[in-house]
Chains A and B, each alone.
Chain A
Amino acid sequence: MSILQDIKNAVRSRSIHVSYVDVGSCNGCDIEVLACLAPRYDIEQYGIYVHNNPREADVLLVIGSVTPQWVDKLRDIWEKIPEPKVAVAIGNCPISGCVYARKGTLTTPPVENYIPIAASVPGCPPRPTEILSAILSVAPLIFKDYEEKQR
């Protein structure tokens, strides 16, 4: 069992599938996530692959302060991700609402009220390197020895 687990650990550490969802923000953080894909930062050399399908993903990057229309849809997306899964909040908006945390704006931050968040990357927007290192440091905490932790 432990050999099988070791193989799974080794494979999972080099194959982290990421899906991102913008639940209402200025798109600045989306651009920073996409900058991770560019050759300057090259997220795929670390074994992180970006999809737009939550059913293929292990890590969900949540961007933006939650608008009321997104509340139920965000939960749907979270439930579609197969276990083991983890959500990472990117930017200030999912943490505090950032500049949208004012009277009269139709947002309902923080995102922790709707789905469990394992890590958050503050910044408006955060640097691509910060996003990268957050994913790389949170992934082994969740995915390593996942089957053994279940028992």
Chain B
Amino acid sequence: MRSIVYYVREFLRPEWLRKFFLVKTAPLETPSYFKDYPSLTGKECTACFSCMMICPAPNAIAVLRRQDRWEPEIYRGHCIRCGLCVEACPEDVLASGRILDTTHRDRTAFSSWYHLEVDDTLCMRCGNCCVSCPVNRQVDPQLAGTGTSASDEVVMRVEGGRVRILHEEKCTGCKTCEINCPNRAIRVARMVEGVQEEAEA
């Protein structure tokens, strides 16, 4: 009997009733470190397109020409908020969460280069890639026809009936060779590597 009275009194306390019927969790706030859609910091964009090239989602970011400047634009519904564009930008044009803080603290960055690869089973040694390459054209204006060249400074040339890549580091990634290859034998790949500067001892 005493316990029933105890429970009735307990459950009729106004504080208990208010808590029971009106309880709510605290309103949910987005934390300051949330990696949201990248926003512009106002620094000047140099149109290097690092952000567009590293973006893993299709059509998520485009660097557009505004009135007098370049500006990256993020498309919602396409962007997956991975933050790679923020990390890849050398000018800190974009910001998101605390990505910029950590990259500055850890002195991390991305370095990229272009890797040329010729599939010898597909290549028919026409030399179109060597002739069409704009870097080759600048280095050796005589390079034409079969793709052979006397110069050692060209990106690639036909040597002994096959394409040999001499100076991969000169490639600008324009992919003119890929377009002009009839067999899709040559591929230009953009390689990206995360690098970290050594901390000052």
Contacts and interface: CB of A to CB of B under 8 A. Distances in A.
B is a partner of A: yes
Nearest to A110: B77
B177 to A, nearest CB: 22
B104 interface: no
Given A92-B80, A95-B77, A96-B78, A124 B24 contact: no
Contacts of B77: 92, 95-96, 120, 122
Main secondary structure of the interface of A (DSSP, over half): loop
From A41, A124, A127, A129, name the one whose CB has the most chain B CB atoms within 10 angstroms: A124
A129 B25 CA distance: 13
Contacts of A42: 25
A137 to B, nearest CB: 14
A151 interface: no
B57 interface: yes
Nearest to A92: B77
Task: Give the contact-size bracket for chain A.
Answer: 20 to 34
B171 to A, nearest CB: 25
Given A122-B77, A124-B79, A99 B24 contact: no
B97 to A, nearest CB: 13
A101 interface: yes
Among A92, A95, A97, A99, which residue has the most Cβ atoms of chain B within 10 A?
Answer: A92
Given A42-B25, A120-B77, A99 B57 contact: yes
Given A45-B25, A96-B78, A122-B77, 20 more contacts: A41-B25, A41-B28, A45-B24, A92-B78, A92-B79, A92-B80, A95-B77, A96-B59, A98-B57, A98-B58, A98-B80, A99-B56, A99-B57, A99-B58, A101-B58, A101-B59, A101-B78, A122-B79, A129-B30, A132-B28
20 contacts: A40-B25, A45-B25, A92-B57, A92-B79, A95-B78, A96-B75, A96-B77, A96-B78, A98-B57, A98-B58, A99-B56, A101-B58, A101-B78, A120-B77, A123-B81, A124-B57, A127-B34, A129-B28, A129-B30, A132-B28
